[in-house]
Amino acid sequence: MQTDSQTHMPDDISLSVRHLIKNFTVGGRWYSNKNEQIVSAVADISFDIRRGTTMGLVGESGCGKSTTARCILRLIDPTSGSVLFRANGNSEKIIDVMAESPEELRQLRQNMQIVFQDPFASLNPRMTVGTTIEELLIVNTNMDRANRANRVLELLDLVGLESIHAKRFPHEFSGGQRQRIGVARALALNPSFVVCDEPVSALDVSIQAQVLNLLSDLQENFGLTYLFITHDLAVVRQICDDVAVMYLGKIVERSPVEKLFAEPMHPYTQALVSAAPIPNPSRQRDRTRILLEGDVPSPINPPSGCRFQSRCSIGRTEQKCLEIEPPLTDVDGTHCVACHFPAVRSVI
């Protein structure tokens, strides 16, 4: 479904998310809603991803990163919010993802794909690799069998695998090879936007580098736009152009990646950056690690005011932090932070 031409979306933006909210209901019984509680998994977030770039979405487990990605792709429906998508980079065709019918959504997903975290769980163990990839072509294209077979071999070659691998089953591959198969499947229908949901977190460090280099090469060759979800800031620094930091369902800081490392302004971001190792032993020894006290509050009952207040040395005592939730405020045109007392602190 194409939106009308009055919808505003800058030409260099591939994906625009506005006021995305996702609540889940927990508790209660099938016969009664008594004792039901609301979990605020994604709590009103907004961001843009520039065409042909990689935006990192960072945060600890349970902060809402993967839920955000699944809402964007409509693998689950959000509670509210809007997602505008520029299909195939066509400046005249801006799609309102949330307004798509099931049939329109099926067609749209040819242009929006995902690489999952667990490369083994995301592949059918009873299907060969070739059949797994070919299945997408059967459902979504009019290719004949010969062209489908050629396309499968072309995709395997693209991700560094051989034609003989098409006849093998997932359990016959290493973790890195399985993730390459996941990438090949995601690229089968020539998408322009790919969600990478922690695609290297289950892999050895040496294999991680190979997969990240593959993703970078594919982006350069095909002009892909990535939303890269991870908890590893070292990975973010290697592959991302921009980064948004999430905490308890909220984006607390967003900026170009090098600026985030050089000038983190939110105390949570500063703690994350201080924990990321750097490849310089002398500088690593001289760094001061910022240790956060306490645990992440429950998303069922988040604190009033700033959600980070209970783990922040300032927020625990400042009345403003205890009572008023800080908005995500633009600091200098490229750097946004949600903090009442933002301050640059070098932690590199």
Residues 25 and 170 in one domain: no
Q: How far apart are CA 195 and CA 115, in angstroms?
A: 6
Residues 155 and 276 in one domain: no
CB 225 within 8 A of CB 193: yes
Q: Residue 291 has what pLDDT? A: 76
Q: Residue 5 has what pLDDT? A: 38
CB 13 within 8 A of CB 89: no
Last residue of a domain, one of 188, 221, 236: 188
Residues 132 and 271 in one domain: no
For residue 174, give Cα distances in angstroms to 166, 203, 204, 207.
Answer: 15, 10, 11, 10
Residues 62 and 138 in one domain: no
| Residue 33 belongs to a domain | yes
Question: How many domains are contained in the chain?
Answer: 2
Q: How far apart are CA 87 and CA 50, in angstroms?
A: 13
- CATH number for 65: 3.40.50.300
Last residue of a domain, one of 172, 188, 204: 188
Give one DSSP letter per residue of 149-214, joined into a string.
Answer: HHHHHHHHHHTT--GGGGGS-GGGS-HHHHHHHHHHHHTTT--SEEEEESTTTTS-HHHHHHHHHH
- The range of the structural domain enclosing residue 276 comes to 13-111+189-337
Q: Residue 313 has what pLDDT? A: 84
Angle (CA) 141-193-232 rounded to 5° is: 135
Phi, psi dihedrals of residue 222, rounded to the nearest 5°: -115, 5
The tokens describing 109, both together, are 């997903």
Residues 89 and 140 in one domain: no
Q: Residue 284 has what pLDDT? A: 58
Residues 30 and 129 in one domain: no
Number of residues that this document lists for the chain: 348
Which residue is it, tokens 């959600």? 307
Last residue of a domain, one of 148, 170, 188: 188
| Residue 96 belongs to a domain | yes
DSSP E strands: which ranges in the chain?
13-26, 37-50, 54-58, 80-86, 94-96, 112-115, 193-197, 225-230, 242-247, 250-256, 329-330, 336-337
3-state secondary structure of 291: coil
Residues 179 and 197 in one domain: no
Residues 197 and 331 in one domain: yes
| Residue 279 belongs to a domain | yes
How crowded is residue 151: how many other Cβ atoms within 10 Å of its Cβ? 18
Residues 202 and 221 in one domain: yes
**Averaged in consecutive runs of 10 residues, what is the pLDDT profile of the chain (348 residues)?**
55 93 83 79 95 94 93 95 82 84 89 87 91 92 94 95 94 92 93 93 85 94 95 90 96 95 92 78 66 82 90 88 93 92 72
Residues 257 and 302 in one domain: yes
Q: Residue 132 has what pLDDT? A: 94
Antiparallel, parallel or unpaired: β 112-115 and 193-197 = parallel
Residues 86 and 222 in one domain: yes
CB 263 within 8 A of CB 344: yes
| Residue 117 belongs to a domain | no
Residues 289 and 324 in one domain: yes
CB 266 within 8 A of CB 338: yes
